[in-house]
Amino acid sequence: MFGYEHKLIEYEHTVVQMSVFREISSMKKLMLIFLIIPLGLSAQIKFENSWDEAVSKSRMTGKLIFMDAYAEWCEPCKEMEEYTFTDLEVANYYNMNFINLHLDMEDYPGVELAEEYAVGVFPSFLFINGNGEVVHRGCGAMDAGQFLMLGEEALTDSVTLLAMEKRYDDGDRTADFMLDYLEMLEDACLDAERFAAGYLKGVVLSDLTKETPWEVFAAYQWDIYSREFQYVLKNKALFDEEVGARMVNAKLYDTYLSQYQEVYEAEELHDYGMRALLHSIKEVTFTGSDTLKVMMNLHYAEFTENWPEYAEYAVELVGMTGVEDPEELNELAWKFYLFVDNKNQLEIASSWAQEAVTKMPEPSIIDTYASLQFKLGNKKKAIDLEKRALELARELYDDTSHFEYQLRKFEGK
């Protein structure tokens, strides 16, 4: 056999071997994939069925109990079960490091445990030692990464909620620590504001300008009737100098705005709450206070159906703040069409509606502009605008009954 023929045969043999090897390797990889996929699909945190058994195992192994405190009706709880608890990395980590327990807080023994451990939010996640002591906790729907981090925190002694409680009991009141601790309480759905209020009660008012008391006050005190807030109001010049006028103004504005929103959304004592708030802010001056006063008076005028005052405050507010949002302008303008008769004020509202149409030419906004034109006596323009609104509503497959009614009204039919 010639040398080159021998080499050719060897080469062909090698190619065949490599082809077979690749085929076998591919089959192995494919088999490995099929082996891995079911494992991933079936990944699940393994939960115990009994509180007593979980406590017993915790004492025997030294592992913490992870308790998933849920309720049957809770949608975020179901999301955790479907997605986060079935994540492979989560399942492996929690199965390796914790005695896992899944308990309905509205069934026995969950009801008793919910009361014992102050579980008021679902889902809540508690990490409990064999002595029944809560070491760490969290709450709310989490993705896999967040939930892994929570588990890691529970196993890191220096950053657990229990460790933070001990630092507080031992007297740590540094600003960084206090804010971290309060944030951890919030993350656990515990009442951080109540805790902060308790801390502030122990602070001498003249010390509120110091770093830690001020930081806690600024972040967690939202009651305008609290002794701390009233002290800051009465001594604003001092706080402007010691803390900084910008920070003080921002805190006063945000707190009044928060209180206003709370009263605005309240279902009870609305009238009393608004009058008390207006009385409180009446003599107060800080950056943005004039705008807040007008906003509050505008809302109170609407609530009491005092439309002449409503119109005055609305014109003042738009002039002060330069309202540009077309939906806000439209809402104000529509109320003028319904309740205001002063021609000068109607002209102003019509200019708002025109601006809103330019920015957002939607049927309802065009309708507001048309309605104001009609009320001002410009019937032809009102009819043309309303026809435009009606045509656009039909194109968008919107309900056209209101636009048809307005058009008939404008045409005198």
Residue 135 identity (one-letter amino acid): V
Alpha-helical segments (H) within 326-378 = 326-339, 343-359, 363-375
Q: Is 298 left (phi over 0), alpha (psi -120 to 50) or beta?
A: alpha
Residue 406 identity (one-letter amino acid): Q
The pLDDT of residue 3 is 43
Q: What's the fold here for domain 47-155?
A: Glutaredoxin (3.40.30)
User: Phi/psi at 138 (nearest 5 deg)?
Assistant: -150, 180
Q: Could you tell me which of 362, 346, 413 has the C-alpha nearest to residue 383?
A: 413
- Find where tokens 């460790």 sit: 163
**327-413 CATH:** 1.25.40
Q: What is the pTM of this model?
A: 0.74
Largest CA distance in the chain: 115
In the beta sheet, which residues pair with residue 66? 100, 127
In the beta sheet, which residues pair with residue 101? 48, 67
The pLDDT of residue 6 is 43
Go through 261-287 and write b for each residue having 16 or more CB atoms within 10 A of its CB, e for each that does not.
eebbeeeeeeeebbeebbebbeeeebe
The pLDDT of residue 91 is 97
3-state helix, strand, coil in the chain (%, to 5): 70, 5, 25
Per-block mean pLDDT, blocks of 10 residues, the chain (413 long): 41 42 44 43 84 96 97 97 96 98 95 95 97 96 97 96 95 91 95 92 95 95 95 96 97 96 80 90 93 95 95 97 95 98 98 98 98 98 97 95 96 89
The pLDDT of residue 49 is 84
**Spatial contact of 45 and 51, defined as CB atoms under 8 Å apart:** no
- Pairwise CA distance, residues 143 & 85, whole Å: 9
Q: Could you tell me which of 79, 180, 60, 57 has the C-alpha nearest to residue 68?
A: 79
What is the residue-wise DSSP string for 251-320?
HHHHHHHHHHHHHHH-SSSHHHHHHHHHHHHTT---TTHHHHHHHHHHHHHHHTT-HHHHHHHHHHHHHH
The pLDDT of residue 5 is 42
The pLDDT of residue 42 is 54
Two tokens, residue 326:
């077309």
| Cβ contacts of 116 within 8 Å, gap of 6 or more | none
- Pairwise CA distance, residues 391 & 40, whole Å: 55
